């Protein structure tokens, strides 16, 4: 049974058995855990980091963004946890999932290498043969 709402519980460590319909949040571990809200029983752990998920607590409800896509589970469920409500999202095609994973990996690689995006060349560096070719072209233009 997919659920439409959830409550949250701040915990130090996660219990051995997660209860249905509860989003456990451990600030200590920087992670949230819940049983997949589709009802399949899979345990879903979402890690908080600048490149993974982030959490918003407004004093009453906890929201998590971005959406949670359980692609590694049979259910393939995809939802957004916002203000205590489960917003069901589209299932993604295999291609979309692969693309998402690839982009995610790339973003993480960049993040953990600590390189600001600006330092990444947007164009391949000139090949060694280029300057020679350009010089020849320039000479040809000059009619020599």
Residues of this chain that bind Zn ion (CB under 5 A): 36, 38, 40, 75, 77
Radius of gyration of the chain (CA): 24
Alpha-carbon distance of 14 to 30, in angstroms, equals: 11
Q: Considering the complex, what minimum distance in angstroms separates the CB of residue 35 from Zn ion?
A: 8
- Please, what is the minimum distance in Å from the beta carbon of residue 110 to Zn ion? 31
Tell the smallest beta-carbon distance from residue 66 to Zn ion (Å): 18
Name which of 40 and 97 has its Cβ closer to Zn ion.
Answer: 40
Q: Which is nearer to Zn ion, 75 or 110 (CB)?
A: 75
Contact 27, 36 (CB under 8 A): no
- Distance between CA atoms of residues 119 and 81, nearest Å: 35
Contacts of 7 (CB under 8 A, 6+ apart): 21, 22, 23, 84
DSSP state of 93: P
Nearer to Zn ion, 18 or 38 (CB): 38
Least Å distance, CB 30 to Zn ion, is 23
Q: Which residues contact 61 (CB under 8 A, 6 or more apart)?
A: 8, 83, 84
Q: Which is nearer to Zn ion, 22 or 40 (CB)?
A: 40
């Amino acid at each position: 049974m997919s659920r439409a709402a959830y409550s949250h519980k701040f915990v130090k460590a996660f219990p051995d058995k997660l209860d249905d319909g509860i989003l456990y949040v451990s600030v200590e571990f920087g992670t949230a855990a819940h049983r997949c809200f589709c009802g399949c029983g899979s345990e879903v752990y979402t890690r908080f980091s600048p490149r993974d998920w982030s959490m918003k607590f407004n004093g009453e409800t906890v929201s998590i963004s971005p959406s949670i896509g359980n692609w590694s589970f049979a259910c393939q469920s995809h939802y957004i946890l916002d203000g205590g409500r489960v917003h069901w999202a589209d299932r993604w095609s295999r291609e979309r999932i692969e693309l998402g994973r690839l982009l995610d990996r790339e973003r993480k690689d960049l993040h953990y290498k600590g390189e600001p995006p600006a330092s990444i060349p947007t164009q391949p560096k000139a090949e060694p043969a280029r300057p020679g070719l350009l010089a020849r072209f320039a000479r040809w233009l000059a009619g020599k």
